[in-house]
Chain A
Amino acid sequence: MVLNAEYRWEVFSGLDGAVFADAGKVFPRRGMLNFRDLESSVGFGLRFNARNVTAVRVDVGFSHEGFQVWFKFNDVFLNRRFGTSIGQPVY
């Protein structure tokens, strides 16, 4: 289970800034499907757009395990402001 929340704004035409918070967990049994004991991270990033579609994004995420830099060639929300990330590639 992954929850993503992202605030995004336009820096200039073709580039958006973003700050985000993620939470999620992996669980072996259906009974553990709840919001307890989630792992979380926060971060910021840039989204390079072409014709309102994110072509490249660079994210820097921080958690208690340290930080990681991600380069991705898709949009977290499949170009929707609000919604689920069903269909997204598994990280």
Chain B
Amino acid sequence: MKRIAFFLLLASPVPGQRFLADDPLEREPRPRSVGQLLNRKFSDYYDLFSNQFAERGKKQPKSGPPVRALAVNTLGEPLDSSWYQRRHYYRRMSIEELTRGPGQRTPPSTAGKWTVVAAKSEGVTPGFTIIDSEKRRYFVKFDPLTNPEMATAADSISARFFYALGYYVPDNYIVYFKPDQLELREAVEIADSTGKTRPMTRDDISVILKKVPLTKDGSYRATASLAVEGKPIGPPRYYGTRKDDPNDVVPHEHRRDLRGLQVFCAWLDHDDSRSINNLDTIVDIDGVPAVRHYLLDFGSTLGSASFRPNSPRSGDYYFTWKGSAKELFTLGLMPPYWAFAHYPDYPSIGRFEWKVFNPEKWVPEYPNVAFSNRLPDDEFWAAKQVMAFRDDEIKAIVGVGQYSDPKAAGWLEECLRERRNKIGKVYFAKVLPLDRFRIEAGGLKWDDLAKEHGLGGVEDVKVNWSRFDNKANAKTALPAAAGNAVPNEGEYLAADLTSAARPKQTVTVYVRRNAGAVSVVGLDRTW
């Protein structure tokens, strides 16, 4: 026991110590085994009302320093984990990788029949669960009669974007099939409008297909979403932790990958970004069963609300006390910003635009504490990833939607480009938009992302060096050292980057000298 305690003492950091030898970490350590977790059901209405009217999770304090994002390394980057993987911004994906998304090009096989094993005829989005001849399970979802191509395109396109942005998503394919492609497995049950179940018949398939659009050649267009890997255990929440998951130790409302998700959702108009549209599954990670967190349903993005065009009020909460009182007592004569949006008539898009879009005002349908806890550095982290999509990459991903109307596809591309640019303009202005810090030829180098994307850049960045005491977490200024060259002083150094044009915004870059090599080990941003 004494020996164990001795080694624990050796392994633990000295109080106040800022960096450990293995910083900056790139990925989370091997998870602990979760064993068998039970599937946790979650009421959509409970989620709505509890987030709308009760306080969920820990909000940012009303006074004092805000809670900075957690689940990040010393550079402020989320670690590769079961929530998030660094992808397009960090390692440019090819057009082929971007359009492929998470899958291995495994749409349902048409070599044999698709066996319907479950179906939903009631509700707003009818659909099937099928198993193809390769024994793979897919969820088949359709467009509404009024808006052919809308939801299926949105589901496939947004899955690619969210994948490239770093999230785990299902493998979605647009498929075309004729009714004789489907066969019904025996003993499949279907619920009627009262919720009562009965054996499903071939007629039920016909009834469902009558509710969805038919293409000119007599086939049906659908999204086939490959069932995600692992055993489902229910949706993750945007706050707190899952108590029975020993690896879930960071409150979700403070995770950078969930705070920053707000910016991605704003870009793609994913206002339906609620818990029930996510899913946890148990998968094998590094040889142990652990939980992976998926974003699932993207049918309500890019102007679609799955069963109809998105509401014109998309980007605003269903309800706020202040906003509702204002509307009530002004008789609607002071309309909210979204009421000024004009939408071109593209049934395959729904309602999507960029002129009125304001990334700062955009919110999902009801409050989400992770989103509302975001800070300028969370927004910058997300904005730099959004800005990483070039025009040709956006065009290629929109192509995944297989729109029959090129003007509709063109409008969607325009909206995504312009919304992206607004996001960059707004969030690159809130912190110094400097990133990718590195040491080259003995000097500190970085990329000015605003300049890189034609948004102006930061003028006259000054560098002031300090010696950094890693154990005491304290800086001692080196007045003689200025400029990019790394001073030959001590093991750790800190470089404070400032610009007279943005006096409140600074970046402090921590540098470590180790066995002759100098590397960037940490980053702090202020605003």
* B318–A11 CB distance below 8 A: no
Q: Are A13 and B319 in contact (CB under 8 A)?
A: yes
Q: Is A71 interfacial (CB 8 A cutoff)?
A: no
Q: Describe A's contact surface by its main secondary structure.
A: strand
Chain A residues closer than 8 Å to B332, beta-carbon distance? 9-11, 17
Residue A35 is within 8 A (CB to CB) of chain B in the complex: no
Task: Decide if B215 is an interface residue (CB 8 Å cutoff).
Answer: no
How many residues of B sit at the interface, in one of the four size bands?
A: 10 to 19
Q: Report whether A9 and B319 are in contact in the complex, using a CB–CB cutoff of 8 Å.
A: no
B331 contacts A12, C-beta separation under 8 Å: no
Chain A, range 3-20, C-beta contacts under 8 Å to B: 7, 9-15, 17, 19
Which of B318, B323, B331 is A7 in contact with, Cβ under 8 Å?
A: B331
Q: In the complex, what's the smallest C-beta–C-beta distance from A50 to chain B, in angstroms? A: 12
B320 touches A12 (CB 8 A): yes
- Docked Cα-Cα span, A11 to B332, in Å, equals 7
Q: Which residues of A contact B313 (CB under 8 A)?
A: 10, 13
Question: Lowest 8 CB-CB distances: which A-B pairs, in order?
Answer: A9-B332, A13-B318, A12-B324, A12-B319, A11-B327, A11-B328, A11-B324, A17-B328
B197 at the interface (CB under 8 A from A): no
CB distance from B245 to the nearest CB of A (A): 34
A12 and B328 alpha carbons, distance in the complex (Å): 9
| Total A-B pairs, Cβ < 8 A | 30
Give every chain B residue within 8 A of A9 (Cβ-Cβ). Answer: 327, 331-332
B320 — which chain A residues lie within 8 A by C-beta?
12
Task: Assess the B331–A17 pair: CB atoms within 8 A.
Answer: yes
Which secondary structure dominates chain B's binding surface? loop
Q: Which of B318, B323, B327 contacts A14 (CB 8 A)?
A: B318
Nearest A residue to B326 via CB reads: A11
The residues of B that contact A15 with a CB separation of less than 8 Å are 324
Q: Measuring CB to CB, which residues of chain A are less than 8 angstroms from any residue of chain B? A: 7, 9-15, 17, 19
- Contacts A11-B324, A11-B328, A17-B327 known; 11 new A-B pairs at CB < 8 A: A7-B331, A12-B318, A12-B319, A12-B327, A13-B311, A13-B313, A14-B318, A14-B319, A15-B324, A17-B331, A19-B331
In angstroms, how far is the closest chain B Cβ from the Cβ of A2?
24
13 contacts between A and B (CB under 8 A): A7-B331, A9-B327, A10-B327, A11-B327, A11-B328, A12-B318, A12-B319, A12-B320, A12-B323, A13-B311, A15-B324, A17-B327, A17-B328
Please give me the residue from chain B that is nearest to A46 by CB atom. Answer: B328
B residues 183-225 in Cβ contact with A at 8 Å: none
Give the CA-CA distance A90 to B324 in the complex, in Å.
33
What is the distance, in angstroms, from A23's C-beta to the closest C-beta of chain B?
21
**B365 CB contacts on chain A under 8 angstroms:** 13
Question: In the complex, what distance in Å separates the CA atom of A15 from the CA atom of B332?
Answer: 12
Q: What's the least CB distance linking A9 to chain B, in Å?
A: 3
Min CB distance, B253 to chain A, in Å? 24
Task: Across the interface, name the chain A residue whose C-beta is closest to B366.
Answer: A13
Residues of chain B from 291 to 313 with CB closer than 8 A to chain A in the complex = 311, 313
CB neighbours of A12 from chain B (8 A): 318-320, 323-324, 327
Which A residues touch B319, using CB under 8 A?
12-14
**Which B residues touch A17, using CB under 8 A?**
327-328, 331-332
